[in-house]
Amino acid sequence: MTAPARSSVPRATKERASREQRDTCLRDIADLMSRGRWFVGSSHAEMVEKHGHSLDVVQKLATEASKALRLIVTLDPDEMRARMLASLDEHRRVALDKTTPKGDPMPDVSAANQAVGISGQLLGLVSTRVDVHDARAKFLALPPKEKLAEALKVRKELDAEIAQLRAALKGKK
């Protein structure tokens, strides 16, 4: 029986390359997190595909990035609040832009409403609550044209509420 062929690449070189790949993935994750664009699940999958690491490795790197960001954040409370509101606004926009696999609009009204509600809590305001279960069932039963009209109406209402929240934040400074 013959021994397996040994790689001609020195072990230290392989380890350095692997460390550099992990660091690149870690930087990408931290960048997404710091801009409020890290979405649990979908962002993990994107990093697995982009960097070729296993899901377990990406999850560990995401945990590491999150811890590092918490340690280095030295923003004053108003700046932190403004960043959090911007992140929530992005989550609201993504929720409202969701579509079915066929491309029909199917906004996640519940997620958008939660983002608006949390924004209101950050500012010390009360947000209007909506029974999302009835609204979602009614929305799903609509024909495509009416569904689009309703989605645009909800988006307009939430945009107006976000504008009010931003104005209130500016007023508190």
Q: Where are the domains positioned within the chain?
A: 10-74, 75-173
Q: Cα–Cα distance between 59 and 71 in angstroms, integer?
A: 19
What pLDDT, on the 0 to 100 scale, is given for residue 128? 47
Among 6-10, 62-66, 68-72, 80-84, the range scoring the smallest mean pLDDT is 6-10
Task: Give the pLDDT band (50/70/90) at residue 105.
Answer: confident
pTM of the complete model: 0.42
What residues form DSSP beta bridges with 99? Answer: 105
C-beta separation of 55 from 44 below 8 A? yes
